[in-house]
Amino acid sequence: MTLIELLVVAAVIAIMAAVAIPKYGELLEKANLGATVGNLASLRSALSIYKANYSGLPVTIDGNIQPAFKKVLGGDTPYVRAKFPDNASPYGNGVTVSADAASMPAGAGTGWFYNNKAGNIYINSTAADIKGESYMIY
């Protein structure tokens, strides 16, 4: 193998790596978004079970504050795993609680947003996800 052939092979590998690395990051964030939506569905299901068992809504969905909800959920409050965009990532498992029935997330927060009057749970962010849609639509 000559030096020129070796350089051509190295160039082809470098081009393939330049294309694959950004795609890997995008796929990883899509997986994080899928996990976040799955965690949101788990929270909503646990809230529904809690409401049926206790004939009302919990004050918060934070299991450290509301042990009965933690028991129904089957563990700790799951994380919002999405990490996009870098400057306003909703990543976290904190819970913001609102007692206003019409209240929804108002900014690029982190974790979960729980409206304990209406019984709604959202991702606590108005930022756009990797698909360009607001996290609040989920």
CA 118/CA 138 separation, integer angstroms:
16
Query: Total structural domains in the chain?
Result: 1
What is the rounded average pLDDT of the residues 105-131? Answer: 94
Sheet architecture: strand order including 95-98:
95-98, 112-115, 120-123
**What is the percent of the chain where pLDDT is above 90?**
72
Question: pLDDT (tens digit, 9 = 90+) per residue, 53-105?
Answer: 999 999 999 999 999 999 999 999 999 999 999 899 999 999 999 988 889 99
CA 42/CA 86 separation, integer angstroms:
26
32 near 83, Cβ under 8 Å?
yes
Question: How many CB atoms neighbour CB 113 within 10 A?
Answer: 26
Q: What's the mean pLDDT when you consider all of the chain?
A: 93
Domain holding 105, by residue range, is 3-137
Is the pLDDT score of 21 beyond 90? no
- Partner residues linked to 128 by β-bridges: 134
